[in-house]
Amino acid sequence: MEEIVLGIGITALAGALATIAGAAEDTESDIGSQGDPNSQVQLAPQMGYIHRIFNKAISGEPPAYAAWCAIGAGVAWAFLQIGYNPALAIILGSIVAVFVQGIYCISGYLGRTASLAKFEQPVYIDIIKSLLSVTMAHAFIAIFCTVTVCYLMATVLHAQPFALPILGLLWGLALGAAGSATGNPFYGKERQYQNQNFGAGVPISASGNIVRYAEAGERSSLDNGWFTTKFAGPASGICFGLIVFLELWRTVLFETSLGGWGAIVAGIVLILIFAVINLWVEKWGRETYGPYTSEEASS
């Protein structure tokens, strides 16, 4: 019984940490412009729209975060092996990982922007100076929280077999997948194409014409981070938090029930509940917004 209570406590803590990690991950990727919407940041100068948006998408978020979290977890694991305090080991591991992320950001921005030279897109050094520390800070939070989740799994949940670095790789990839899936549409459609109609997709003919000006002066990627933390960041956090929490919850609580089938049955029930909620959301959207009408018909 005590083990289950401890397991539930660890599950709750891991879920909370994963929520923070997801929110920080999405905000970092929006400030750094790493997800799929970055295709428009790369496309804009080619269509004649010069901008001051950060541009560092060498790889997608999932493999990038898999690498950073695996580095963080691997270094932390090495420090743990020589007797370091776990908190210090995780912080040191996350710092090393975040320096790798910083190098990746600089090379990503310089490389991608330099490739746009023939479209007269300048490389702005002040963008690197002002935004690098911000993306690194958000990445540190995301990596630190994820590595801590992995540490909790590796040390307290004895039944799971993987060592800390492999858990870092697994959950880093899941973190990037959840964050990019949930957060990208909000950054792409709602922020980059803020000048397009709300409640409709961006017409393909508008591709590349991203919003480049703010209330005063040119739009910076910091503005994008400010905007996406209103929805995309928290939504990504809830997504990753739910994944981690429910995966642990169903196993910790139901693993031994129903002859070993309890966790499977619990998972299927959860999937069905989510499917029903999704069905309601889709129906609500159709009934509330209604079909699109032409301008003549609606006037």
Partner 1 sequence: MSALGGKAAGGEGINWQGVAVGIVIIIIALGITFAFGSEGLVIPLLGIIIGGALIGFGVHFVPVGGAPAAMGQAPGIATGVAMLAAGAGLAGLFGGAWAFSATGDFLTAVLGGAVGGGMMMAITCLMVNLTYVFAMGVPAASGKVDKDPITGYSFPEYKSQGTEGHGLPFISYVGGVVGGFIAGLGGTLIYIELLLVYSAGLPVLLEASAEAVAPLAVSLAGILAIGFFLINAVLSAYNITGTIEGPHDPKFKRVPRAIIGCAVASAFCGLISILIIVAF
Q: How far is the CB of 21 from partner 1 (least distance, A)?
A: 14
Q: Which of 69, 171, 219, 227 binds partner 1 (CB under 8 A)?
A: 171
Is residue 145 within the footprint of partner 1 (CB under 8 A)? no
Q: How far is the CB of 207 from partner 1 (least distance, A)?
A: 7
Site string for partner 1, 229-268 (x = CB under 8 A): --xx--xx-xx--xx--xx--xx---x----xx-xx--xx
Cα separation, 296 vs 61, in Å, equals 43
Among 94, 101, 135, 192, binds partner 1 (CB under 8 A): 192
d(CA 281, CA 137): 35
Strand partners, 213: 218
Q: How far is CA 203 from the centre of its chain?
A: 26
Is residue 61 helix, strand or coil? Answer: helix
With CA atoms as reference, report the closest residue to 68 among 101, 35, 46, 44: 101
Helix (H) or strand (E) holding 57: none
Residue number with CB closer to partner 1 (209 or 220): 209
Site for partner 1 in 56-115 (CB under 8 A): 60-63
Q: 27 to 56, contacts with partner 1 by CB under 8 A?
A: 35-37, 39-40
CB atoms within 10 A of CB 86: 14
Amino acid at 147: V
- In the bound complex, what is the minimum distance in angstroms from residue 109's beta carbon to partner 1? 19
| Binds partner 1 (CB under 8 A): choice among 118, 198, 298, 299 | 198
Which range binds partner 1 by CB under 8 A, 86-94, 121-129, 135-143, 189-197?
A: 189-197
Task: Tell me the longest C-alpha to C-alpha distance in the chain.
Answer: 73
Please identify which residue in the block is written with the tokens 């929280």: 145
How would you class 90 by CB atoms within 10 Å of its CB: exposed for 0-12, middle for 13-18, buried for 19 or more? buried
Among 292, 296, 298, 299, binds partner 1 (CB under 8 A): 292
Question: How far apart (Å, rounded) are the C-alpha atoms in residues 7 and 12?
Answer: 9
Taking CB under 8 A as the binding criterion, the range among 9-17, 124-132, 213-221, 272-280 that sits at the site for partner 1 is 272-280
State yes or no: residue 200 binds partner 1 (CB under 8 A): yes
Work out which of 216, 291, 296, 298 binds partner 1, going by CB under 8 A: 291
- Judged by CB under 8 A, which of 108, 188, 225, 233 binds partner 1? 188
161 contacts partner 1 (rule: CB under 8 A): yes
Q: Considering the rule CB under 8 A, would residue 125 count as an interface residue with partner 1?
A: no
Q: Are 54 and 112 in contact (CB under 8 A)?
A: no
Closest distance of CB 128 from partner 1, Å: 24
Residues 11, 186, 221, 225: which binds partner 1 (CB under 8 A)?
186
- The number of C-alpha atoms within 13 Å of 210 and in the hemisphere containing its C-beta is 29
